[in-house]
Chains A and B, each alone.
Chain A
Amino acid sequence: METSTLITFIVYLLGMLLIGVLSYRLTSNLSDYVLGGRRLGPGVAALSAGASDMSSWLLLGLPGYAYAAGMDALWICVGLSVGAYLNWQFVAKRLRSYTEVAKDSITIPDYFENRFHDKSKLLRIISAFVILIFFTFYTSSGLVGGALLFQESFGMSYNQALWIGAIVIIAYTFLGGFLAVSWTDFIQGILMFLALIVVPIVAIQKLGGWNQTVSTVAEIDPSYLNGLDGMGFLAIVSLVAWGLGYFGQPHIITRFMAIRSIKDIPKARFIGMSWMVIGLIGAIFVGFAGIAFFADNPLIVGDVDNSEKVFIFFTDVLFHPIVSGILLAAILSAIMSTIDSQLLVSSSALAEDFYKAIFKKNASDKELVTVGRIGVLVIALIAIVLAIQSNPANENASSILDLVSYAWGGFGAAFGPVIILSLFWKRMTRNGALVGILVGALTVIIWKPLTGGLFDLYEIVPGFLFGLIIIVIVSLFGKEPSKEIQKEFDKAKAAK
């Protein structure tokens, strides 16, 4: 790597750490640490939700998929765009108002407990448990992505790259909490957005324009031009079903809870959706242009699959070293902005939902912030251990995409139906929610290893569906919720 690329990259990392230190001074209690005191403006909330959502998948995974499969990659993008839109349109406003009505809840387990007046603590503990399990895998997948980037860019060993990336990320999550995460997410979101516009345009221009790019791709394989080629019904449903996952992702929907006012939501939704759609289309074209650009030196040869590095190779061959450094920083941004949010939600689950709820009911704010920070360290360490085992050089190591799709499906199925029905169905009961979380999570865990026929369907589909059905059945068989719960429901519904 050239020195100027390295300097640009390091300046960026130092800038992110500086934000962490500055935010540290603005963080005085747990609500500040976990939700930034509910004072995010629409722009920061929108880009922060987008950047937390997309991870390295947007810059590495999706271009890699488009490189390997051509226009088939569009289906997952259609599903995600529609899912994200419905989430902003229906869940954001109601969740923002309901979490405030329900005793100013600051975490998802907190909201479940207060929404259903659950005094047994079961709902809180089980949902916090689901969060810790799936986020440890999710976080670990991001650390693997970061390690691959450092390894490829700086020529380090896998383990060295893993530790350096992890230390930087943990340092600023540890210091600043939500404010640091949201502001760095905002900056990272802008950087990712610019990268996904600039890279495909420059690549296509270098190839001699759009028509020339398409002709070259068609010469390699005309099926790359057809998004329906070789796609069966189950494959399309599985890809589009990724959109169902949005309703249950704690690191994304906590952004809705943190927005300053529900009046800011329409603006945030527009900014968030524009960012996402342009980013997704840009990512598809990065991979598509890559098919033509690397025609003479294909990235997939036999068992060696470097397709997910297509963006990294483009930054190297197309740009000046300083720009290349900025673009590599964009990849790290994507990884960091997701991991930091996930670590934060996990640490809040430990501090608020385990420590305060079970061990020390009257814990002070200062104590909870400290427990939250220790939680970030502990969870990150477990994720690092998992990431060491996921070194792609090892046999039987899980791929990044496998880990992500598992966690995404787990959250979507366990929390998605509960979140939607708890916001829009007054008759839903605590037992319904409890069984819904369990059935959704277990369906994903059981369905995942099964293959053949219907079992090739992405596990989020049956998980979400079974969860939804069981919640309705158990709720209807149970006692009607108390007058007080129903009153709170109406109050949240009426909020403007």
Chain B
Amino acid sequence: METLTAATWFWLLVPMPLVVVLSLISLIKERGGE
């Protein structure tokens, strides 16, 4: 069965969602620090 290449999945689903996760972590951290 055809599928997207592994490198394509990686670049599609790692860096972009990662910046959302980082934003969430810093939101939680800064709320905790208040």
Chain A interfacial positions (CB closer than 8 Å to B) = 71, 74-75, 77-78, 81-82, 84-85, 88-89, 211, 214-215, 217-218, 222, 225-228, 263, 266-267, 269-270, 273-274, 277, 280-281, 284
Contacts and interface: CB of A to CB of B under 8 A. Distances in A.
B16 A281 contact: yes
Given A218-B2, A222-B2, A228-B7, 9 more contacts: A71-B4, A74-B12, A85-B19, A214-B2, A225-B5, A228-B8, A270-B23, A277-B19, A280-B16
A214 B16 contact: no
Interface of B: 1-5, 7-8, 11-12, 15-17, 19-20, 22-24, 26-27, 30-31, 34
Given A225-B3, A266-B31, A270-B27, A277 B8 contact: no
A281 B18 CA distance: 13
12 contacts: A71-B12, A78-B11, A81-B19, A82-B15, A225-B8, A226-B5, A227-B11, A228-B8, A269-B26, A273-B20, A280-B16, A281-B16
A84 B19 CA distance: 9
Contact of B12 (A85, A222, A227): A227
A211 B4 CA distance: 10
Nearest to A274: B20
Contacts of A274: 20, 23
A41 to B, nearest CB: 15
Contacts of A78: 11, 15-16
A267 B26 CA distance: 9
Contacts of B30: 266
Nearest to A224: B4
A273 B1 CA distance: 34
Contacts of B5: 225-228
B25 to A, nearest CB: 9
Contact of B2 (A74, A225, A277, A280): A225
Contacts of B17: 277
Nearest to B34: A263
A75 B23 contact: no
Q: Interface of chain A, helix or strand or loop or mixed?
A: helix
B8 A77 contact: no
A351 B22 CA distance: 39
Contact of B22 (A71, A85, A228, A280): A85
A97 to B, nearest CB: 15
B11 A75 contact: yes
A334 B2 CA distance: 34
A222 B17 CA distance: 26
Residue from B15, B16, B17, B31 with most neighbouring chain A CB atoms (10 Å):
B16
A226 B3 CA distance: 9
Given A225-B8, A226-B5, A227-B8, A277 B27 contact: no
Nearest to B3: A214
A228 B11 CA distance: 10
A269 B28 CA distance: 12
B18 to A, nearest CB: 9
Contact of B23 (A85, A214, A226): A85
B16 A277 contact: yes
A77 B11 CA distance: 10
Contacts of B19: 81-82, 84-85, 273, 277
A217 to B, nearest CB: 8
B6 to A, nearest CB: 10
Contacts of B2: 214-215, 217-218, 222, 225
B12 A284 contact: yes
A456 to B, nearest CB: 22
B33 to A, nearest CB: 10
Contact of A277 (B3, B20, B31): B20
A266 B3 contact: no
When A and B form their complex, which 10 residue pairs have the shortest distance between CB atoms, in order from nearest?
A: A218-B2, A85-B19, A227-B8, A270-B23, A266-B27, A273-B23, A81-B16, A277-B16, A226-B5, A266-B30
A214 B4 contact: yes
Contacts of B8: 71, 74, 225-228
Nearest to A84: B19
Residue from A71, A89, A211 with most neighbouring chain B CB atoms (10 Å):
A71
Residue from B1, B20, B30 with most neighbouring chain A CB atoms (10 Å):
B20
A192 B24 CA distance: 22
Nearest to B8: A227
A266 B12 contact: no
B24 to A, nearest CB: 6
A348 B5 CA distance: 48
A123 to B, nearest CB: 33
Given A222-B2, A228-B5, A77 B16 contact: yes
A75 B16 CA distance: 10
Contacts of A228: 5, 7-8
A156 B26 CA distance: 49
